[in-house]
């Protein structure tokens, strides 16, 4: 069983995907974390995003792995835990530019398909239902209003000690969604066969329950 969860920034994809995978004992893969990992490395080395040769060289030296620590999935870059750093505002504001680079996408899509292998998997991102797992049995497109998404993200930032206003988060989210929706390769778009779910007024557990119902229906059909 392959479950593809796509949608715009902060719609709750990774939170519900993780919970769903735990409950069903499926593998979970956070593809956004991988784009964030590459972005962190590129920012660290001040990589010129127009230099194809340099990008190709850098990608060869990036080894992304996931490790479960106290039931949380951590992203390791070349063996070092970077789970916290990849969530910074600096990475968040650069990730869409890095994710629009063809080589980066080819590299990560290949990795994502390899990691998922033949497991039952819940994968979340922007292009899972359209590109990474086009034959996924279940495809869901999660939505929520920009205001609700910004409020959810504000709480995340407050917990990690980063200072930013709600207005600024709303702007950043709109900006990132626009870039993700308008890039040339694998833009953020609902797959034709995806089920749309607006989570604006839904709690995390309610979304997870909805997804379980969708999966049950597919299993019975
Ligand atoms: O959690 P949040 O919505 O902030 O984003 P994320 O899932 O961590 O993804 C960060 C960024 O990576 C997105 O804004 C996209 O630019 C890119 N991304 C992508 O292009 N394709 C994916 N499958 C996943 C993420
Ligand atoms: O992965 P994505 O960017 O779509 O969103 P996320 O990182 O899973 O969720 C962003 C924040 O919204 C997290 O703090 C979630 O706990 C919260 N959330 C929520 O309050 N209600 C939901 N229905 C879904 C997520």
39 lines ligand 1 (CB under 6 A): no
- Point out the ligand 1 atom lying closest to the alpha carbon of residue 153: 4
5 lines ligand 1 (CB under 6 A): no
99 lines ligand 1 (CB under 6 A): yes
Spatial distance between the Cα atoms of 177 and 170, rounded to a whole number of angstroms: 11
Span 2-214: which CATH code?
A: 3.40.50.300
Quick one: pLDDT at residue 141? Answer: 98
Please report, to the nearest 10 degrees, the dihedral formed by the alpha carbons of residues 131, 3, 39, 198 taken in order. Answer: 100
State which of 6, 7, 15 you would mutate to test the pocket of ligand 2, scoring each by most atoms of that ligand within 8 A of its C-beta: 15
Q: Where are the domains of the chain?
A: 2-214
CA distances, 121 to each of 15, 18, 87, 167, 170 (Å): 15, 10, 23, 36, 31
The DSSP code for 126 is: S
Task: Report yes or no: 119 and 173 within 8 Å, Cβ to Cβ.
Answer: no
174 annotated among ligand-binding-site residues: no
What is the value of ipTM here, to two decimals?
Answer: 0.97
Q: What is the DSSP string of 153-188?
A: HHHHHHHTT----HHHHHHHHHHHHHHHHH-SSS-S
Task: Report yes or no: 129 and 191 within 8 Å, Cβ to Cβ.
Answer: yes
| pLDDT tens by residue, 133-168 | 999 999 999 999 999 999 999 999 899 888 899 999
3-state secondary structure (DSSP) of residue 116: helix
Quick one: pLDDT at residue 171? Answer: 96
Give 220 Cα–ligand 1 centroid separation in angstroms: 32
9 annotated among ligand-binding-site residues: yes
Q: Which residue ranges have their beta carbon within 6 Å of ligand 2?
A: 7, 9-15, 152-153, 155-156, 199, 202-204, 207
13 annotated among ligand-binding-site residues: yes
150 annotated among ligand-binding-site residues: no
Q: What is the pTM of this model?
A: 0.96
Quick one: pLDDT at residue 181? Answer: 97
Quick one: pLDDT at residue 138? Answer: 97
Quick one: pLDDT at residue 202? Answer: 97
Quick one: pLDDT at residue 198? Answer: 97
Spatial distance between the Cα atoms of 23 and 64, rounded to a whole number of angstroms: 25
The protein residue whose alpha carbon is closest to atom 24 in ligand 2 is 12
| pLDDT tens by residue, 163-209 | 899 999 999 999 999 999 999 999 999 999 999 999 999 999 999 99
Spatial distance between the Cα atoms of 55 and 68, rounded to a whole number of angstroms: 29
What b/e string do you get for 139-176 counting C-beta neighbours within 10 Å, with b at 16 or more?
bbbbbbebebbbebbbeebeeeeeeeeeeebbebbeeb
| pLDDT tens by residue, 40-83 | 999 999 999 999 999 999 999 999 999 988 878 899 999 999 99
């Amino acid at each position: 069983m392959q479950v593809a969860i796509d949608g715009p920034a902060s719609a709750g994809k990774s939170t519900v995907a993780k919970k769903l995978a735990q409950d069903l004992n499926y593998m979970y893969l956070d593809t956004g974390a991988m784009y964030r990992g590459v972005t962190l490395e590129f920012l660290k080395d001040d990589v010129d995003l127009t230099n194809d040769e340099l990008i190709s060289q850098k990608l060869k030296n990036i080894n992304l792995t996931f490790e479960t620590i106290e039931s949380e999935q951590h992203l390791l870059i070349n063996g070092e835990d970077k789970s916290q750093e990849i969530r910074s505002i600096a990475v968040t504001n650069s990730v869409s530019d890095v994710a629009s680079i063809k080589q980066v996408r080819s590299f990560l899509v290949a990795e994502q398909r390899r990691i998922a292998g033949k497991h039952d998997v819940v994968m979340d991102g922007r292009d899972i239902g359209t590109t990474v797992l086009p034959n996924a049995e279940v495809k869901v497109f999660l939505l929520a209003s920009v205001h609700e998404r910004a409020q959810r993200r504000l709480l995340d930032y407050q917990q990690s000690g980063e200072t930013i206003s709600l207005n600024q988060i709303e702007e950043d989210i709109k900006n990132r969604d626009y870039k993700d929706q308008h890039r040339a390769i694998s833009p953020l778009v609902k797959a034709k066969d995806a089920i749309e779910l607006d989570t604006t007024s839904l709690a995390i557990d309610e979304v997870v329950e909805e997804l379980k119902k969708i999966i049950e229906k597919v299993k019975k059909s």
